[in-house]
Amino acid sequence: MTDTARMAAAVSAMFATVEGDSPESIEQRARFYRIVPGIHWPDDWDELDPAEKKKRLDGMDKIGLEREEG
């Protein structure tokens, strides 16, 4: 995982904690990840319901915040 992706995960997780789960907050979290090179955004993102978007972003945060073994 790149440093940029890790930073996006950290910022997204903090933003979720502070701002909650409003649709606006979810879309802001998505913007953090959209600037990360190599992350391919789903074409149907705008059609997903907020709960699914949050689930996916939470998963990305989890992956980005995991410690690498080595």
Residue 70: predicted pLDDT: 53
Residue 5: predicted pLDDT: 93
Residue 1: predicted pLDDT: 78
Q: What is the spatial distance between Cα 69 and Cα 67, in angstroms, rounded to a whole number?
A: 6
Residue 58: predicted pLDDT: 97
Mean pLDDT of the chain: 93
Residue 69: predicted pLDDT: 58
What percent of the chain is helix, strand and coil (3-state, nearest 5)? 70, 0, 30
The amino acid present at 42, given as its one-letter code, is P
Kindly state the helix (H) or strand (E) to which residue 10 belongs, with its residue range. Answer: helix 3-19
Q: Taking the chain (70 residues) in consecutive chunks of 10 residues, what is each chunk's mean pLDDT?
A: 92 95 96 94 96 97 82
Q: What is the spatial distance between Cα 70 and Cα 59, in angstroms, rounded to a whole number?
A: 22
Residue 67: predicted pLDDT: 80
